[in-house]
Every structure is written in C-alpha cells, then in structure tokens.
Amino acid sequence: MRRSILPIFLLFCLCASSKLCAETKTEVLPDDWIPPLAPSITAALGNLKSADSQAEMNQLSRQIADMTDAQLFIAYVRLYDRLSTKQRAALVTEQAKWLKARSTAARAGVESTGGSLAPLEANNAEVTYTEKRLKELRARLKSL
C-alpha cells in the first residue's frame, strides 16, 4: 500500500509546487533545506548488512530505494523550479521516460527469478539507477 501511495503523493507535490511557483513566483523548497535522508539511508544500509532474514533484507532494500527516490524527487523539484516553462515541459517528459526505464532496469537486475531474493536484486538495481539520475540532476542544478 505504501509503495502505491508514494507516486501519487510525489505527483501531488509536483503539481502543488508548479502551481505555487506560478502564483507566488517563489520556490517551494528553500535552498538551505535538505531533509536528512542520507543518515537514514546509511542506517538502513547498516541494518541490511546485519539482517537475519531474506524478508528483512527485502524490506530494508525497499526502504533504501524509497529514500533514494525521495532524494531524487527533491533534486527534480529544485531543478524544475529554476527552468523556463518550455524547459519544465521537457524535463517532465524526460523524467517520465526515465521512470519507465528505471522500472525496466529494476526488472533486468533480477537474476534469481521466482525466488525470495528477487525483490532485493530489483531494489538494488533500482537504487543504482536512481543514484545515477540523482547525480545527473544535481550536476544540472549546480550548473544553473
């Protein structure tokens, strides 16, 4: 259930962000505000190393993927806020295409089909793919 709500919440935030920015001409995310996701990711990675069951590893890897996605969303909104209307439309199209590619990459990252290890492998592939995009968006943001 949580996984299905996250995309809807993120879409709502983006819509609210663009409407708020258009109406007030201000950014939604203050430049100096960076939610502390990195320590949470680090803690989850530590817990993952000492996990006792496959189910626990799958759950922790999903949490890491979700937190990495949240970091990506923040970078995406920050970049979106600084672009022209035409550039924003291009970014939205680009991100939608990238999200589909990420799903494909996650599925392709599964080597053990049908087993309980598959979610861990898919989550790890998703995190790796998301981290690359996060680095790219942050670099684009920094260049503005």
Determine, yes or no, domain membership for 23. Answer: no
pLDDT tens digits, 82-116: 999 999 999 999 999 999 999 999 999 999 987 89
Determine, yes or no, domain membership for 63. Answer: yes
pLDDT tens digits, 29-44: 777 776 778 888 989 9
Q: How far apart are the first and last CA of the chain?
A: 37
Does residue 114 come out as left (phi exceeding 0), alpha (psi in the -120 to 50 range) or beta?
A: left
Looking at 11-15, 57-61, 90-94, 109-113, which range is the least confident one? 11-15
Number of domains in the chain: 1
What pLDDT score does 37 carry? Answer: 85
Q: Which residue type is seen at 77?
A: V
Rounded to two decimals, what is the model's pTM? 0.77
Determine, yes or no, domain membership for 24. Answer: no
Determine, yes or no, domain membership for 61. Answer: yes
CATH number at 63 reads 1.20.1270
Rounded-to-integer distance, Cα 108 and Cα 51, Å: 24
Residue with tokens 């990506």: 72
Domain containing 98 equals: 37-143
Q: What is the DSSP letter of 29?
A: S
Determine, yes or no, domain membership for 119. Answer: yes
- pLDDT bin (cut points 50, 70, 90) of residue 24 is very low
Determine, yes or no, domain membership for 27. Answer: no
What pLDDT score does 100 carry? Answer: 97
Output the average pLDDT for the chain.
85
Determine, yes or no, domain membership for 10. Answer: no
What pLDDT score does 1 carry? Answer: 43
Determine, yes or no, domain membership for 118. Answer: yes
What pLDDT score does 12 carry? Answer: 53
